[in-house]
Each structure stands twice: as structure tokens, then as C-alpha cells.
Amino acid sequence: MADFFEGFTEQYVTTSHGEIRVRHGGSGFPILLLHGHPRTHTTWFRVAPQLARHFSVVCADMPGFGRSYQPKTLADSSGKAKAAALHECMAILGHRRFGIAGHDRGSYRAFRLAMDFPESVSGLVVMDGIPIYEVLSRADWRFAKSWWHWFFFAQSEKAEAAIRSNPELWYPAEAAIGSGNNRDYLTATRDPEVVRGMLADYRAGLEFDYDDDKRDKEAERHLQCPLGVLWSRQDDMERLYGDPADPWSDWSDRIVLRHGIESGHHLAEESPDEVANQIEVFFARIR
């Protein structure tokens, strides 16, 4: 454990929404890293120290996940609400302008943060994610076959009952790479309150986030910052979308990075060196 986030400080930041658990370290231009389901911020344990050689790095448990606060209502689980909380968290840490990289569910919240707070976000990197509006608008039988869990998890009470009855089936005990990271993942996925919060993230995606994206799409609002798109070649992004950067073309005219990584879905754990290098190159290029 000596090399687990070496040089980083763990902290709970009190926002008006609730406490957000973060680890931060390094110096220089700030970058916020957001994890996906069902991970916590520790999924970045191999990436964050590399980035910290050149940047101030903040890794956060997203609201509803890990040890951050649990939203009180479904609206509080929406992308807008979580983006506002994360924006406030970064301001409290002294970062008025920063970059973001988000994976999986974290990519949707990173996207919303960049859309709603363009004055604060100087660059966005998404990993294995496209806007929820695009996901649902393009959904076909292939999507339903591979991503059926989106709709099952959105039936929160039924999904919660199923997961609690056999957590090993849904979240295998040794699924997360690295002992410290796996321990954090295991603690989160065996906590009924966290499971409920993670499922609410999916339900909010269908009940709030799609409509928020749709309003932006109809208003022809675009990202105001440069965009980088990374995806795992061993997952299904290319099979579903061809070039996974293409669905972003209606949202950004500044896609400065599009790159597939030879990895499974959990890129930060499976291919940390390449992920760190791509994020570093992206933010070095746009600054």
C-alpha cells in the first residue's frame, strides 16, 4: 500500500449538497478525474500519480458512489445536480478553472459539468461515453443486448433487491485491479446505501439527463472547450458506434483527440500508462 496514491491527500469536502470524498496531489494546472460504475475514485490509482508529475490532480467519489454523500431525491442524482456539486467542490479546493476526464458514468457527469459551467472547464476528456441523449436516440437491438443493465438498474427497487440477494454475481469480489482499489470497490458495492445511490444514477439518466441533453441539442448548444474522446477497443463502443467520436460531432467542433486504447472497459486499471499519456498530451496541447 506504500505506493497507493503516494503523495496524495484524502479529504472530505463539505459542499452545500453534501460531503464529497476526494484525493488530491501534484501541482500545476488542475484536472478532475471522475470514475464510472461501480468504481470509486481509487480506480485512478495507477493514472493519477503519473499525471501529478505535471498537474494538480483531484480524484473524486461521485455523489451517490463510494463515500461521497447520497443524494436525497432522484433529481439530486441528475447530471445537473451532481455537476453543480462537483463544481462547488473544485471551487472550495481553490480551482476556479480546470480540466476534466471522466470514464463511463463519470463521462456523463463530466460532460454536463462542461456544458453547464463553460467558464470553469478548459478541456474535457471522455472515456467510453457519449451523451446520454445520443445513447438513447441511437439505441437498437445491439445496444439492448449489451447494455440491458441500463434499463434494469433504472428499476431501482427491483435491481437493488436482486443485487443485495447475490452481490457476488453482480459485483465479483476480485473485479477491481489492485488491492487498495479492490478494497474500496468491495466496500462500496457491499453497502446497500451506495448500491441504491449507484442505481439512482441510471434512473436519473433516463428521467432527467436525457431531457436535459435534448434541450441543449434543440438549442444547438455546444461544448465551449476542446474535447478528447478515448475508448476501449476490447469493449463494444466501436461495434455500436463505429468511430466513437462521431456521435460527439453535433456537440463539439473542437474534437482534438480521438483514440482507441487496447483495453477492456476499465481503462484506467487495465491500461494506465496509455490513459495517463493520452490525458497528459491532451491537456498539454490545449493549454
Q: How far is CA 96 from CA 23, 91, 113, 280, 286, in A?
A: 18, 5, 13, 20, 17
Percent of residues in the chain assigned helix, strand, coil, to nearest 5: 45, 15, 35
Has 104 been annotated as catalytic? yes
- The rounded distance, in Å, linking the Cα atoms of 240 and 104 is 15
Cell of 107: 463521462
- The rounded distance, in Å, linking the Cα atoms of 43 and 235 is 18
Which of the residues 104, 128, 201, 212 is marked catalytic?
104
Has 41 been annotated as catalytic? no
Residue 9 pairs with which residues in a beta bridge?
A: 24
- The rounded distance, in Å, linking the Cα atoms of 198 and 215 is 25
3-state secondary structure of 281: helix
Which of the residues 191, 222, 236, 265 is marked catalytic?
265
Residues involved in catalysis:
104, 265
